[in-house]
Structure 1
């Protein structure tokens, strides 16, 4: 609904079919790297439950690193070819990369202990102590699409930023990658928790791998991840962890305003119909596991969709399986009552939407840029404009970089290299003032 796949998405449905084939095509550049994992730096691997190990892991708290698993090594040419395969500007590529899957401790939405995984990427060169980019991905439905497992969309931004000389922490979120349980889609609070704990695990991994971090964090993310990045930045800015200092924020096409921008856009034609059906189905079924939206799916979904919609979003179905099984419009998907309620939310539904909003309701003390596109039919640009207005209300003027008629995924591809260059500028300015 909001952000890479219910208001935001990374593998956006409106971009067409053949997801698995397209992803394989985009991953051609990493085939050699995956075949040569033996060349990755040696790492002491603590076996954690998500990696099938039997060795007991430390029983400590949030962000505890349980396992470090090498997943790819690419030289500079490989990184450039991988990014170029998606039409991305490769002018910022300076280094090859080493990529690892981290398994770490975090919390469920209910506050219970669990584990999660994420992708940690280091440049093959550069400074001895590295700044850290937190990159949060967009909507994903299949757990194998997550950055630490999938070899395509979820790795573009991590490889882009790491090849420019920064370490990158890219959480899979709960229930994706090799983490247990279902994914609590668009539950902002638990996504921030998992992302913050990924930073903590990355700090430990970086030290063990011989590349300690400076503590400075550059936050970015796309679609769903744009909203998560903004919420994470808000938490870091308020002192969520003394080891990390927010340095800059540059999210792309986030669904920052579900009630005021994204949901209305699904009903007035600004959002592609297929995308609206996909995001809304994902959002409602995921949120119902956390909040009592309905007792039976038929209260929100028409037949025959009420009988299948929850099973479709179990993290084991691909988009090309889900989209043909659902109707083409929200009118065909939702009951008459749900169709009206979503346009005029009240009660629990209103509370659920409100809980995801408000992530721009603070005064940043660091540089911020919002990237979006007027041509985005998955996440309306009104989200970014409303976010900028919220920041302005707190006395901070934040520019919205409009990529014009570019579509949702194209906005990410165009914005990514621009963000890298802007982060370089911010970092250089910081060094001059020290």
Structure 2
């Protein structure tokens, strides 16, 4: 009997210990899969002021350098287009020095077809240099790679605003943890900007922050550049009717259709949307490993040769999943900002027409800065982002 009681007690203790161990593991596992959980952090650059200035010069960014910077790649948890937990990567750039409280800029990048060109991976791409520009002025900067780019998994959902928004919000959460480990903190008011694809993403992030749905963060100002804010009424019609440069239009249309099909099921087979021989290869081209030059060389020179006549007509008169796909990205300006918002665009842009910005201005009541008729799409970023930095410094100077 005595042996039995001792045995029973031992079992009870072991069982309780097991439950406690299991509960502890479950809690750690739940934390690991929580949105914004940091999976790993790696410092990828430590730059002096002179080295920082050299990077900006090579990127043709005209902006004075106040400080050197440290750049980190952050691997963190977000959700994919189906709402399931997935890893994503992003860039965090911090100004050198011992400043405890940091003002924060969120930068949303433009079109990238290869995962290796994402801001947290490729030190030679303009997006890394743009983030460094803001950090060299004294700001902390986050720049999400987005789903399927950088060190994340799966395919990239091009111009899918909700997934870009999720990646951005969860990087803010992860970055807050990273700087907390360095005994630093963020000012809660975020300055938001973004270029091209990142324009609608920036507007969406501004709205999310203003709604108070992101704990610890709110907006300070928003300044998107050359964004395709109106796919249904402006961007896609202009790509189809020849108003835009045809080869970039082909690339944008193909990338968006292949990406969006995985979310909204726009067609059953590529041959329903694309003419041969492109129908047989177009999906493979956007696997995250082909660069823009390779893709462009593999696709036709005009949208008329890319798309079947029936599908081109569907794009001109969208309904069903195609209309939902457009409208899901076209509502990013449908809010009334309570913080300063300036939209930057160029009359001379033949990839993203300025009519997108005018539509966003009309809906949101925001200001519009026309960068001019001599400025093309890429030139709009080079010209606008230093102006945005100067504006941010007036509104919310670095701490």
TM-score normalised per structure 2: 0.90
- Per-residue Cα deviation, 1:82-119 (whole angstroms, up to 9, x for no partner): 1111322122x211110000011110111101110000
1:204-234 per-position Cα deviation (integer Å, ceiling 9, x unaligned) = 1111123311112000010001110111111
Q: Pick 1 or 2: higher relative contact order, CA cutoff 8 A, min separation 6.
A: 1
* Aligned counterparts of 1:121 and 1:57: Cα–Cα separation in 2: 28
Residue pair 1:175, 1:182 contacting (<8 A) in 2 also: yes
TM-superposed deviation, 1:126: 6.9
Alpha-carbon separation, structure 2, partners of 1:227 and 1:165: 26
358, 380, 384: which one aligns with 2:331: 358
Is structure 2 residue 393 aligned with structure 1 residue 424?
Answer: yes
Deviations 1:168-208 (A, max 9, x none): 01000011000011111111111101100000001111111
| 1:81 shift after superposition | 1.5
Task: Provide the residue aligned with 2:85 in structure 1.
Answer: 113
Unpaired stretches in structure 2, ≥5 consecutive residues: 1-27
Q: In the alignment, what sits opposite 2:383?
A: 414
Q: Please give the secondary structure, in 2, of the residue aligned with 1:70.
A: strand
Cα RMSD of the aligned pairs, angstroms, is 1.7
Runs of 5+ unmatched residues, structure 1: 1-54
In the TM superposition, what is the alpha-carbon distance from 1:57 to its structure 2 partner?
9.6
Asked if structure 2 preserves the Cα contact closer than 8 Å seen for 1:171 and 1:198, the reply is yes
* Aligned partner of 2:249 among 276, 286, 294: 276
**Which of residues 226, 243, 252 in structure 2 aligns to 1:253?**
226
Instruction: Kindly provide the CA deviation profile for residues 215-267 of structure 1, in whole angstroms up to 9, marking residues without a partner as x.
Output: 12000010001110111111111112130010000111111111111111112
The yes-or-no answer on 1:332 pairing with 2:305 is yes
Find the residue that maps to 1:59 and give its secondary structure. helix
Which residue of 1 is the match for residue 69 of structure 2? 97
Bigger helix share: 2
Spell out, residue by residue over 1:34-64, the C-alpha distance to the aligned partner (whole angstroms, 9 max, x if none): xxxxxxxxxxxxxxxxxxxxx9895241001
Aligned residue for 2:55?
Answer: 82
Matches of residues 33-432 of structure 1 in structure 2 within 5 Å?
A: 58-91=31-64, 93-125=65-97, 127-151=99-123, 152-392=125-365, 397-428=366-397
Q: Distance in 2 between matches of 1:145 and 1:57?
A: 31
Q: Report what 2:10 is aligned to.
A: none
Quote the Cα distance in structure 1 between the aligned partners of 2:99 and 2:182: 14
Aligned to 1:35: none
> Closer, same or farther in 2 for the Cα pair 1:270/1:126, shift >3 Å?
farther
What SS does structure 1 have at the residue aligned with 2:44? strand
